[in-house]
Chains A and B, each alone.
Chain A
């Protein structure tokens, strides 16, 4: 009986640990925008985009320098 009781306690401890893990994984968002913000943070831009852009822009004339200064003021 004692052995069974001990096992039961161990099982209970495991179950509690699992529940605790589940609880830790639970997230709460106050609204759609915070949920979407969280979602956006997980997104990674495919590196291929930058590579394709480099190739595409290479064949173009470099824009005048003035807009860079305007852009960086923002």
Chain B
């Protein structure tokens, strides 16, 4: 069994059409922004549009970037606002179950239980199905945590809550995710 703690994650993605400094910024952060949008919106086409819109917004508002946050955090903030606005506007997603916490409460596994998979082929779909069943705030916390470079404080700032609240919610979010992921097999 292979323990996957921190897979290699090339930050760069091909951006042949964008040159210069903006192209470098896009290359460094586009994967993270696209991934957050993809798993948050649960739709590749909408994620593609959102990634375009987020970077265009960033391009337009560069002079407003104060430099007191990292570029990644700033882009995440734009992405979160953008995706949440889209979701509010659509009002078409009613797939958040009220029982995610309930399921987690009765889950036999602890949060320390490893998640095992045999097939990576349809892993993305399975992850998406699991995330879709989580309450949106849990989903967002887990996606931000998966970045690996964000602190609890930064996640708290992005989600407008304290670092302690983030820690508490993450515990429940992990448990709910693990239970739903196991049930999705």
Contact = CB atoms under 8 A, between A and B. Distances in A.
B51 A37 contact: no
Contact of B146 (A40, A42, A60): A40
B17 interface: yes
Interface residues of A, number: 46
Contacts of B4: 27-29, 34-35, 38
Interface residues of B, number: 66
A23 B116 CA distance: 11
B85 interface: no
A13 B83 CA distance: 53
B52 to A, nearest CB: 5
With most chain B CB atoms within 10 A of its CB, the pick from A36, A38, A43 is: A36
Contacts, number: 175
Nearest to A29: B115
A2 interface: no
26 contacts: A27-B2, A29-B116, A31-B114, A32-B178, A33-B142, A33-B148, A33-B174, A34-B5, A34-B146, A35-B127, A36-B143, A36-B146, A38-B4, A40-B35, A50-B17, A50-B23, A53-B18, A53-B26, A53-B52, A54-B18, A57-B56, A60-B60, A63-B59, A67-B65, A70-B65, A71-B65
